[in-house]
Amino acid sequence: MRVGIIGGGLMGREAASAFGRWFALDAKSLPVRAELTAVCDLQTSVVDWFRQVPGVRLLTQDHRELLASPDVDVVYVAVPHHLHEALYLDVLRAGKDLLAEKPFGIDLPAAERISEACASSGRFVRCSSEFPFLPGAQRVIETVRSGRIGKLLEVRSCFWHASDLDPSKPANWKRQVRTCGEIGVMGDLGMHVVHVPFRLGWYPVRVYAQLQKIYTERPDGRGGMAACDTWDNAMLHADIGVEGREVPMRLEMKRLAPGATNTWSLEVLGTDGGARFSTAEPKTLWTFDRIKEQAWSRTDLGFASVFPTITGGIFEPGFPDCFQQMWAAFAAEWAGVLGTKFGCVTPAEAVASHRLFAAALRSHHQKAAIAL
């Protein structure tokens, strides 16, 4: 699978790192070799960083040149949200497959147009969301699927950041509606909190949203101030339909979460059992089983990755690992060998996330719960 990257910033470099150590993945379990062959970014300094990456044969500042390359099968596009639609459509028109970054277009209409283009092009398209590939997250999913939790009581899925608590942190494209989208933090962090619930079939039938905008301007990095008009924090109180009942599900997306660096967590509670995992404790799985006494048990996890690697089973995983695992899942599905393993976000799930976030905007505006 020969990959080209459009957008070599934070995530483009992370992807290069994932391909650079692809040999760590067990070839028998994943019979797909991936290599990074081409990179495009508008900035010369960004493009130059990739000169040190083995295997990269094409470096360009024009994405059309990358898309014309016969050395590229799949394109990873990691650019600001207002550019998603145009670049994703160009990728599909060029006959390439796509791993799109979230939120899959700046808003719901853009996501719907992208999704239609995916269907009509027949290309293989998935969207990025890596945390579910961590061993702890997989164990929560397994616990739910095993049926051990009994009747579902509630679900909580969160992604918290704290770096924006510092008002002197300069503005960037993620703080402005024009480039990040009106959905703000939901576009930035939302795909991460809906991926697992959607995959488990938990789609909201109703949502009540609390959105907060705290800092309305930040240093622009040139001595002045820039307006910041996106939502900083979003709490979505949703109902999901499960076995003819409604079950509460809370989705939290926060840029202003005191004490949280990049903390993704998932908690599922049922009448007979429950499971909880947070990246704040990357080795820890908490499980609850209804016995006589009220007790949560703590399991010290190892490196039980979805796709086996050379890494010792007792070692602990981190962000670069789950990001590589997500790419492994993409490659496996691309090659038709994913089987029953957990897969990346589909275009339909991405559109559903936008439908939810658009309803959340309406909910906040009307101060009312919105039916979906």
Ligand X SMILES: NC(=O)c1ccc[n+]([C@@H]2O[C@H](COP(=O)([O-])OP(=O)(O)OC[C@H]3O[C@@H](n4cnc5c(N)ncnc54)[C@H](O)[C@@H]3O)[C@@H](O)[C@H]2O)c1
Report if residue 85 touches ligand X, rule: CB under 6 A: no
Report if residue 89 touches ligand X, rule: CB under 6 A: no
Nearest approach, Cβ of residue 78 and ligand X (Å): 4
Report if residue 119 touches ligand X, rule: CB under 6 A: no
Binding range to ligand X, per CB under 6 A, among 40-48, 106-114, 204-212, 237-245:
40-48
Q: Measure the CA–CA gap between 60 and 52, rounded to whole angstroms.
A: 15
Q: Are 217 and 225 in contact (CB under 8 A)?
A: yes
Q: How far is CA 279 from the centre of its chain?
A: 14
Q: Are 231 and 186 in contact (CB under 8 A)?
A: yes
Binding range to ligand X, per CB under 6 A, among 37-45, 140-148, 274-282, 309-317:
37-45
Report if residue 98 touches ligand X, rule: CB under 6 A: no
Q: Measure the CA–CA gap between 130 and 54, rounded to whole angstroms.
A: 24
Residue 42 CB neighbour total at 10 angstroms: 13
CA-based angle 109:111:116, to the nearest 5? 95
Report if residue 105 touches ligand X, rule: CB under 6 A: no
Nearest approach, Cβ of residue 5 and ligand X (Å): 9
Q: Are 25 and 307 in contact (CB under 8 A)?
A: yes
Residue 83 or 242 with smaller CB distance to ligand X = 83
Report if residue 10 touches ligand X, rule: CB under 6 A: yes
Nearest approach, Cβ of residue 201 and ligand X (Å): 23
Binding range to ligand X, per CB under 6 A, among 15-23, 42-50, 218-226, 355-363:
42-50
Q: Take residue 37 and report the two structure tokens written for it.
A: 């062959």
Q: Which of 46, 79, 64, 77 is nearest to 179 (CA)?
A: 79
Residue 27 or 86 with smaller CB distance to ligand X = 86
Q: Which of 63, 70, 68, 65 is nearest to 12 (CA)?
A: 63
Residue 45 or 294 with smaller CB distance to ligand X = 45
Nearest approach, Cβ of residue 357 and ligand X (Å): 13
Bridge partner list, 238: 207, 249
Helix locations, 97-184, DSSP H = 108-121, 135-146, 177-180
Report if residue 255 touches ligand X, rule: CB under 6 A: no
Nearest residue to ligand X on Cβ basis: 9
Report if residue 43 touches ligand X, rule: CB under 6 A: yes
**3-state SS class at 76:** strand
Task: Give the residue, chosen from 53, 83, 153, 200, that forms a contact with ligand X under the rule CB under 6 A.
Answer: 83
Q: Write out the residues near ligand X by the rule CB under 6 A.
A: 6-11, 40-43, 46, 63, 78-79, 81, 83, 101-102, 128, 130, 188
